[in-house]
Amino acid sequence: MIRSVKMLRSRRGARALAGALLAVTVPAAGVAVAAPASSVPGPDRPAAGSVAGPVDADPQDLLAVELDEAVTDAKRIQDARNATGPRTRGARPGASSAEVTEALDDAVAAVVEDGALGATARVEAPGVDWAGAAGLRELGQARRATTHDRFRVASNTKTMIATLAMQEVERGAWTLDTTVQEVLPGVLPAEVGRVVTIEQLMSHRSGAPSRHVQQMIADRMADPESWSDFVDALEQRYTISDHLATINALPWEFEPGTDGSYSNAGYVLLGLMLEEQTGWPLDTLLRFRVFLPAGMWHASYPTEPGVRGPFMVGTVYAGDVGWWSLDEFDPMMFAAAGAATGTTRDLNRLNEALFSGRLVAPDTVEDMLTPRGTLFGGTIEYGLGVYRVPDPCAEGEYLYGHDGGAFGTVSVNWSSLDGERQITLGVNARDVTGGETPAYDLGELLTPMLLATC
């Protein structure tokens, strides 16, 4: 596999910083061959290789694989560390607080050196209170990314929408068995709408089409194999009517409640149900019932293209088009499934407020965290707008939260249940081609962040 010299250097840097955190030796990688760099400021272009076509692009599936690899790597290294002798949980043999901070600074720089455009990240744990950033806010621009920058949090929006839905359950307006048909009669075919429940929508067990966003994009492409048509479609405008027309044109994937499949369509429907039930638009509901109570001062739910203030603009790698800035991206492409924006601190505060019972009652939190099934090959155990992954620091324990894999941005927001250990990151570059050589390795940043909380 061809790798750039830049990528090899960053991997060596990541092993060095892991050593500072872990005091164990990690085997060296193989020899790399130089590859040409991009002609514009920003990430290198991935090496040539077999790539998926534009209509095959599924950033959420690709991200799930990367998250699984990062958790697995962190657990392997932590297990090796534990094998060197007994120690108190949270101890970092051979690494002082200053060394951990330096290692995390190196990690956020490494993922940019590896090929990402910009990254912002935050770790909060006993003895660790760190935030760092590296790279650029926007492709071809000189503005540096900072720890206060906002970005598109993508599917982390689902946690917010599920929280609003559970607030309606607590208010007595809904139950978990409330159906789409009861709230939005006629929006779905009656045979589907009268049986699909909000619990199934929140847990991705409704059978709703899993790739309706990709289908909306494909419907606007003259040539389904053209990456140029693809990036043009990414910057067009999308409406709720577009979503509903596509959802209703695609077959339901399985009988509701019998299986699980990650579906943006389900959350688009939940957003419509919330607006119909309350009489308020989602941006207002989120502002007053999630963002302000949680102290998410910079979070927003935009419904139009464009950004305000310090913002990390998404950038997509699109085959022969290369890297493309999504500065005209319409957040309504994902709507309630992924339109929100915020900072790493905003996402931290979301988890803190939710898990501590400030947004919904503790019993409701427990219900949301209880897995209804597994997604993406069984690694992610999904509840209601929140999932859990194995905690690499402690056998049998979990980290809770969500991630977001949009076409130009990646985000991760995980926390221990007590809120004592949190990691949050945003990266404004995404390779959706599925090529054998990814644009960058998210584990360069995510794995050291996980280990820093152990």
Domains of the chain: 5-158+168-175+280-452 (3.40.710.10)
Q: How far is CA 372 from CA 308, 378, 380, in A?
A: 38, 12, 11
Q: Is 373 in a helix, a strand, or coil?
A: strand
Q: Model confidence over 110-156: pLDDT tens digits?
A: 999 999 999 999 999 999 999 999 999 999 999 999 999 999 999 99
User: Of 343, 454, 449, whose CA–CA distance to 107 is shortest?
Assistant: 449
Mean pLDDT, all residues of the chain: 87
Q: What angle do CA 400, 402, 404 make, to 5 degrees?
A: 160
What whole-number distance in Å separates Cα of residue 423 and Cα of residue 322?
A: 30
Q: Write down the pLDDT at residue 84.
A: 78
More confident residue, 23 or 256: 256
More confident residue, 49 or 322: 322
What whole-number distance in Å separates Cα of residue 365 and Cα of residue 113?
A: 39
State yes or no: pLDDT of 420 exceeds 70: yes
Q: Is the dihedral of CA 367, 370, 374, 380 positive or negative?
A: positive
Name the pLDDT band for 85 (thresholds 50, 70, 90). Answer: low
Q: Give the rounded percent of residues in the chain with a pLDDT score beyond 90.
A: 78
User: Quick one: 310 exposed, middle or buried, by C-beta within 10 A (0-12, 13-18, 19+)?
Assistant: middle
pTM assigned to the model: 0.88
Q: Write down the pLDDT at residue 51.
A: 52
Provide CB contacts within 8 A for 23, sequence distance 6+. Answer: 81, 84, 93, 94, 95
State yes or no: pLDDT of 240 exceeds 60: yes
Q: Are 134 and 119 a contacting pair, CB within 8 Å?
A: yes
Name the pLDDT band for 64 (thresholds 50, 70, 90). Answer: confident
Q: How far is CA 77 from CA 22, 125, 223, in A?
A: 7, 19, 46
Q: Write down the pLDDT at residue 59.
A: 67
State yes or no: pLDDT of 297 exceeds 90: yes
Mean pLDDT of 175-199: 97
Q: Model confidence over 22-53: pLDDT tens digits?
A: 332 222 222 222 222 333 345 664 544 445 67
Q: Which helix (H) or strand (E) holds 121?
A: strand 118-125
For residue 152, report the phi and psi dihedrals to the nearest 5 degrees.
-75, 115
Provide CB contacts within 8 A for 55, sequence distance 6+. Answer: 214, 217, 218, 221, 224, 230
User: Quick one: 188 exposed, middle or buried, by C-beta within 10 A (0-12, 13-18, 19+)?
Assistant: buried
